[in-house]
A and B are shown apart, each in its own frame.
Chain A
Amino acid sequence: MQSPAGAPLAPYLKLVVEVTRYYFDHNATTPVSAAVLEVLVPALLEVYGNASSIHRDGQLARQRLEIARRQTAALLHCDPKELVFLSGGTEADNLAIFGSVKAHPGARKHVITTAIEHPAVLNPARQLEREGVEVTYVPAGPDGLIHPDDVRRALRAETVLISVMHVNNELGTIQPIEEIAKIAREAGVLLHADGVQAAGKIPVDVKALGVDLYSISGHKLYAPKGIGALYVKNGTKLSPTQFGGRHERERRAGTENVPGAVALGVAAEAAASDLTDESSRIAALRDRLERGILDRVPATGVNGSVAHRGPNTSNIHFDGLEGEAMVISLDLKGFAVSSGAACSSGAVEPSHVLLAIGLSREQARASLRFSLGRSNTEQQVDALIEAIAESAAQLRHLSPTYTARA
């Protein structure tokens, strides 16, 4: 589609936003924090050198890059040398999966992952299948948790990698990574954990967890989009998946994103420093929200385990309602929440995670995810409860046919 040749498009009108925005979708992404912004702009303006250049402009960039690596490593409790900067969670997952499988010498290879992974893990796994690698998708229980015994049972002689997410993005459930790591270690199999939803929300110690590979993403912890990191345990064999210059110890070709890394470093430092206080504050807000919804709105319930859960996520089913309609209704009232997974058109498809833990398509479509973060306050939570009660009542009143009312 094009405008007629030469004809200028009329200026865009500003998107109508007539209400105060309250953001409850921090698992999708987070706003850049003030502390990050403060270092980001000078990094963009002043640290323009190529970190691989020999001159002092390059050295300045390299210095900032390595400070950022140390800051980020501190959040994960690893050696800075074990951290590869890259473009984000998806790239980290892709590098971990393809890089470790390709590096393995075996002729027949088998990979274990789970049914509730993010598409950044599931789709690489499906691609591996197309390339002749066998993949087992371990199911999750109705509580949204992977059972280590299921992972153990899936092991084969030719298994080379296990990939299990640390915290589920839709339910917030914390997977038993340490127990799975024991199984992996005994079997001599590499373990990758997608930690995109864990870093900054719960304590992460990759050594204590016992993982070999661990993915994180900057924009889930108040750094900008376009920066992430992969922890690669010292000694882990990993083939590169993109080819170019010898950056990042030949693990990830491409000019280093120094401003991104600087931002991630500061974000990681901030996350580490107030993790305990902020987690308990957010958990209290999340519980207040959940109680409020369950008390005020009939026919609702929590999806997944309540006990084994990170502090910021709540996934609730509203029986008989369309989650999609709830998202729109709440958005028009000023609240950003989410439902299911966006397909390529932007329409909502039932969440594969909710289907995997045993919900019907209808129940999955009737579910909403609330994910809290730094900006949220008690007053916002109370306003959200109010809005949800109102939207649910309005949509239920009209269901199934609007005409019945008119």
Chain B
Amino acid sequence: MSGGVDSSVVAGLLRRRGQPVVGLTMQLWNQRRLPELVPEGGATGRCCSLDDVYDARFVAQHLGIPYYVLNFEDRFEQQVVRPFIDEYLAGRTPIPCTLCNNFIKFDQFLDLAAGVGASRIATGHYARVGFDESSGRYQLRRGVDQAKDQTYFLFGLTQQQLAHTDFPLGGFTKPQVRELARELGLPVADKPDSQEICFVPNGDYAAFIDAYFRERGIAADRAQGEIVDTAGRVLGEHQGVHHFTVGQRRGLRVAAGEPLYVIATEQHAQRVIVGSNDQLLRPRLHAGQVNWISIAPIQQPVRAQVKIRNKHEAAPATLDPAADPPRVEIVFDQPQRAVTPGQAAVFYDGDLVLGGGWIE
């Protein structure tokens, strides 16, 4: 329970069904830890803030269910925050929400819930899970509300994890969920949605990384480097590759005749390579550490639609089992803009989530 509308409605629905329910909140990050990042007037509306825990507890009290806050701060820092930073410094653009789902929420948190006697966990994700008799597999489907669908972040779930997980909101739209919240009398019915990465204030991940290093007394070594075009000509300077992501246009501060975009970042050379919009197009990509959900690992080419970032519209493509599974080669029917290493490629067949992997 995050203190938001979605997980609160989940708790309310389960309580209404008369099932024994225990409310749990994960304390993941201490919002007061990097005070330089907290805007004037204090942190609000981000996960793990005292206000959010207050709201979650208020909902639990309202529903009359037992409620606990679990301290996952150490584990979150180890398994989400540090890899997040390492990825950025390595010139990739990570998705901490997926790491959190894979290594915290549906792993250690599920373990803990099982350990204290829960048969299943339920979360406020917009996704649907069901068991398919013919294939003998748990299948994951997009949430009915396409705008809210969160399956992009859930591609790493294993069959065992899905077997013990409920997504009660998968069949509802967000307006319906807010309506349910009002119907259930929940005190958070009109609370605004959270948007950004929960531990990064205002989405400024570069400022977060800099502040984290300052706190730990680590100077990011030789962060500065050159901004070059695809022919290797030096166009300007930058303050660290972690300030840039593929497809980015703003913040380059170099003058050129045509709009320039980040094409790639090279961590070893501390270089940011820029080019035209056309130079961002890629016909194919390799996905590593592929996890198959709704179908067994593929042995031959399979047609699918592939999403390469959360807000991307899934594009038709052919999935080709590479010579070295669990890697997969993805060949798009039409070249795609800003294929970004560190993001996920998630494979769909309509609503069905076939699986996904990390863009290399």
Residues of A within 8 A of B (CB): 1-4, 7, 9-10, 12-16, 18, 322, 324-325, 328-329, 331-332, 343-349, 361, 391, 394-395, 398-403, 405-406
Contact = CB atoms under 8 A, between A and B. Distances in A.
Contact of B61 (A7, A12, A331): A12
Residue of B53, B66, B116 ringed by the most chain A CB atoms within 10 A = B116
Nearest to B54: A1
Contact of B188 (A1, A16, A391, A394): A1
A4 B190 CA distance: 8
Interface string B149-165: 00000000010110110
A398 B63 contact: no
Given A345-B53, A403-B158, 12 more contacts: A9-B185, A12-B64, A13-B15, A16-B20, A16-B65, A328-B116, A331-B68, A344-B50, A345-B50, A347-B73, A398-B115, A402-B110
B163 to A, nearest CB: 6
Residue of A4, A12, A391, A406 ringed by the most chain B CB atoms within 10 A = A406
Contacts of B184: 10
A9 B190 contact: no
A361 B74 contact: yes
Contact of B115 (A18, A325, A349, A361): A325
A394 B190 contact: no
Nearest to A14: B64
Given A332-B22, A402-B164, A4 B189 contact: yes
Interface string B186-218: 011111000000000000000000000000000
Contacts of A332: 22, 66, 116-117
A157 B20 CA distance: 63
A14 B185 CA distance: 15
A335 to B, nearest CB: 13
Residue of B20, B48, B51, B71 ringed by the most chain A CB atoms within 10 A = B71
Given A10-B185, A12-B64, A13-B64, A402 B58 contact: no
B57 interface: yes
Given A1-B191, A13-B63, A406 B115 contact: no
B296 interface: no
Residue of A4, A13, A328 ringed by the most chain B CB atoms within 10 A = A328
A403 B160 contact: yes
Given A343-B71, A402-B111, A3 B116 contact: no
Interface in B88-134: 107, 110-112, 114-117
Contacts of A14: 64
B336 interface: no
A9 B70 contact: no
29 contacts: A1-B51, A1-B58, A3-B189, A7-B182, A9-B185, A12-B62, A13-B64, A18-B20, A322-B112, A325-B115, A325-B116, A328-B68, A329-B115, A331-B66, A332-B22, A343-B71, A345-B53, A345-B69, A346-B53, A346-B68, A347-B70, A347-B71, A394-B117, A395-B116, A398-B115, A400-B111, A402-B110, A403-B161, A405-B114
A15 B66 contact: yes
**Nearest 10 CB-CB pairings of A with B:** A10-B185, A13-B64, A347-B27, A347-B71, A406-B160, A402-B111, A395-B115, A346-B69, A347-B69, A329-B116
B6 interface: no
A399 B117 contact: no
A348 B71 contact: yes
A329 B117 contact: yes
B329 interface: no
Contacts of A361: 74
B55 interface: yes
Nearest to B109: A402
Contacts of A344: 50
B158 to A, nearest CB: 6
A332 to B, nearest CB: 6
Given A14-B64, A16-B64, A347-B27, A324 B158 contact: no
B107 A401 contact: yes
Given A325-B112, A328-B116, A403-B158, A15 B69 contact: no
B187 A9 contact: yes
A276 B191 CA distance: 56
Contacts of B161: 403
Contacts of B112: 322, 325
Given A1-B55, A1-B191, A12-B61, A399 B115 contact: yes
Contacts of B54: 1
Contact of A10 (B62, B114, B188): B62
B163 A406 contact: yes
Contacts of A401: 107, 111
A9 to B, nearest CB: 6
A352 to B, nearest CB: 14
A128 B11 CA distance: 45
Residue of A322, A395, A402 ringed by the most chain B CB atoms within 10 A = A402
A345 B115 contact: no
B73 to A, nearest CB: 8
A391 B116 CA distance: 7
Given A10-B184, A332-B22, A16 B61 contact: no
Contacts of B158: 403
Contacts of B68: 324, 328, 331, 346
A331 B66 CA distance: 9
A3 B112 CA distance: 33
A349 B27 CA distance: 11
B49 to A, nearest CB: 9
B28 to A, nearest CB: 10
Nearest to A333: B117
B55 to A, nearest CB: 5
A399 B117 CA distance: 13
